[in-house]
Amino acid sequence: MGLNKEQIARRIAQELKDGFYVNLGIGIPTLVANYIPEGVDVVLQSENGLLGMGPFPFEGEEDADLINAGKQTITTIPGSAFFDSAMSFGMIRAGKVDLTVLGAMEVADNGDIANWKIPGKMVKGMGGAMDLVAAAKNIIVAMQHTNPKGESKLLPKCTLPITGIKCVRKVVTDLGVFDITDEGFKLLEYAPGVTVDEIKAKTAGRLVIADDVKEITV
């Protein structure tokens, strides 16, 4: 039951508006690019220095000088532009990127996010995650509602080292769509086949249910 990864991506893609500049993180967020609605023109930013990221190259056409922030080979689209890393994060910091979608290990009901470090495990670094969450003006988190042990990832307070404070605006999980509000997570939509009671049971943070809560359409 609940949404699969593609459906989570598809639901997030509904948040895209014509003219948006969008930064997509690694994992589920990357899939959002596959579901951009008809008639909606968005430009993808890759924080390693590209506006106008296109799809993966055809086999044999990979260019070592053309990768995304996940170090995958990519292509450009007409109208793309390259720039250095300072300008790339400069435009994020200045609020020019309309939407950032990223994954998370934990989200707190005040919008705190943890997604870079697990104590006791090898620390690989925060990459651009701290910059993105601190500076982006609109952040949607795409993640599973619970961890492999079945524990809620929507918490009253992050238990892992945090990446940024009070920055997440919206969370889309396999179970539902939530806004971050002063009252905590606000359930806007539930996945087909999932009950509000199940979501209540699996959400550790403060949860309120929108008056007009409805089923997700993807």
Partner 1 sequence: MKKVFAGADEAIHDIPSGATLMLGGFGLCGIPENCIAAIVKKGINNLTCISNNAGVDDFGIGLMLQQRQVKKMISSYVGENAEFERQMLSGELEVEMVPQGTLATRCMAAGYGMPAVFLLAGIGTEVAEGKEVRNFNGKDYLMEYAFDSDFAIVKAWKGDTQGNLIFNGTARNFSPLMAMAGKITIAEVEHLVPVGELDPNSIHVPGIYVHRIFEGKNYEKRIEQRTVRKKG
Site for partner 1 in 143-172 (CB under 8 A): 161-165
Sheet holding 170-172, edge to edge: 76-82, 50-53, 43-46, 21-24, 99-102, 139-142, 170-172, 176-181, 184-190, 207-215
- Based on the number of CB atoms within 10 Å of its own CB, is 93 exposed (0-12), middle (13-18) or buried (19 or more)? middle
- Based on the number of CB atoms within 10 Å of its own CB, is 71 exposed (0-12), middle (13-18) or buried (19 or more)? exposed
Calpha distance 74→66 (Å, rounded): 6
Q: In the beta sheet, which residues pair with residue 180?
A: 185
Q: In the complex, what is the shortest distance from the CB of residue 60 to partner 1, in angstroms, rounded to a whole number?
A: 8
Q: Is 61 a catalytic residue?
A: no
Give residues 84-103 in contact with partner 1 (rule: CB under 8 A).
Answer: 84-97
| Residue 115 near residue 171 (C-beta atoms within 8 A) | no
- Which of 165, 188 has the CB closer to partner 1? 165
- Which of 115, 146 has the CB closer to partner 1? 115
Calpha distance 122→191 (Å, rounded): 35
Q: In the complex, what is the shortest distance from the CB of residue 164 to partner 1, in angstroms, rounded to a whole number?
A: 7
Q: In the complex, what is the shortest distance from the CB of residue 176 to partner 1, in angstroms, rounded to a whole number?
A: 27
Q: Which window, 14-22, 139-147, 171-179, 182-190, contacts partner 1 (CB under 8 A)?
A: 14-22
Catalytic residue among 47, 61, 106, 151: 47
Q: In the complex, what is the shortest distance from the CB of residue 89 to partner 1, in angstroms, rounded to a whole number?
A: 3
Q: In the complex, what is the shortest distance from the CB of residue 198 to partner 1, in angstroms, rounded to a whole number?
A: 32
Count of residues touching partner 1 (by CB under 8 A): 72
- Which of 118, 123 has the CB closer to partner 1? 123
Calpha distance 105→119 (Å, rounded): 13
Determine, following the binding rule CB under 8 A, whether residue 182 of this chain makes contact with partner 1: no
Determine, following the binding rule CB under 8 A, whether residue 17 of this chain makes contact with partner 1: no
Determine, following the binding rule CB under 8 A, whether residue 126 of this chain makes contact with partner 1: yes
Q: Which window, 4-12, 83-91, 169-177, 204-212, contacts partner 1 (CB under 8 A)?
A: 83-91
Calpha distance 148→136 (Å, rounded): 29
Q: Which residues are catalytic?
A: 47
